[in-house]
Amino acid sequence: MLVVGGGNSAAQILAEVSTVAETTWATLRAPRLLPDEVDGRVLFDVASRRQAALAAGRSDNGGVAALGDIVMVPSVRAARDRGVLVARPMFTRLVADGVEWPDSTVGTFDSIIWCTGFRPDLGHLTPLGLSTVDGVPMTVGTRSVDEPRLHLLGYGDWTGTASATIIGAARTAKASVAELVDHLAD
């Protein structure tokens, strides 16, 4: 089985599946594992401090994203300890029974699990002609600066501080819903 993606979902799914099947992990870049002692509370504290700093006009320290990508929950630590939490570079193309690697060898897989979450392809928004910075639509909060009916949620920190956490996503969603309700009332 091939697991594709360099974040928490990919690492956690690989960790679980690798206990019952042979797995391979493919990522665009080397995964950045957080230290074992960093848990959800630490991440929430870092995200909250970042939000407070930004609100106060202080410089951006990068927040959670600056720490790494993968939380070492027990199943992921166990996978690391078993030696299966090893990523290889992304394949170049899909073939009939698997993938072709950059060295032209073929990996045969009966299934591929795609876990590419926070690095989405937003090509479907291209016809809207949205202003972007580094390929990311410009927003005020989660609202597009060009299209007031468009809010972008859950795509990572650029759509709300700590939006990769349940608490952060809930905070962002609450504010977005309130803004949408006000907009629709006008």
- What's the rounded Cα separation, in Å, for the pair 20 and 122? 35
Domain residue ranges in the chain: 1-33+69-119
- What's the rounded Cα separation, in Å, for the pair 94 and 106? 9
Mean pLDDT of 75-102: 94
- What's the rounded Cα separation, in Å, for the pair 50 and 43? 11
Residue environment code for 89-101, b if the CB has 16+ CB neighbours within 10 A, otherwise e: eebeeeeeebbeb
Per-residue confidence (pLDDT) for residue 38, from 0 to 100: 81
Q: What is the mean pLDDT of the chain?
A: 84
More confident residue, 160 or 58: 58
- Any alpha helices (H) in 31-99, and if so which ranges? 40-55, 63-67, 74-82
What share of the chain has pLDDT > 90, as a percent? 30
Neighbours of 51 (CB within 10 A): 17
Let me know: does 113 contact 1? Beta carbons within 8 Å. Answer: yes
Using CA atoms of 118, 121, 124, 129 in order, give the dihedral in degrees to the nearest 10. 90
What share of the chain has pLDDT > 70, as a percent? 91
Let me know: does 116 contact 105? Beta carbons within 8 Å. Answer: no
pTM above 0.85, yes or no: no
Mean pLDDT of 152-175: 74
**pLDDT tens column, 28-81:** 999 999 888 887 777 778 778 878 887 888 877 776 666 777 888 999 999 999
Rg (CA), the chain: 19
In this structure, the strands spanning 112-114 and 2-4 are: parallel
Mean pLDDT of 13-19: 94
Least confident of 26-40, 118-132, 155-169: 155-169
First to last CA, the chain: 52
Per-residue confidence (pLDDT) for residue 111, from 0 to 100: 86
| 51 three-class SS | helix
- What's the rounded Cα separation, in Å, for the pair 107 and 91? 9
Per-residue confidence (pLDDT) for residue 53, from 0 to 100: 80
More confident residue, 61 or 5: 5
Per-residue confidence (pLDDT) for residue 131, from 0 to 100: 93
- In CATH, which superfamily holds the domain spanning 1-33+69-119? FAD/NAD(P)-binding domain (3.50.50.60)
Output the CA angle 183-150-145, nearest 5 degrees: 85
Tell me: pLDDT of 21 over 80: yes
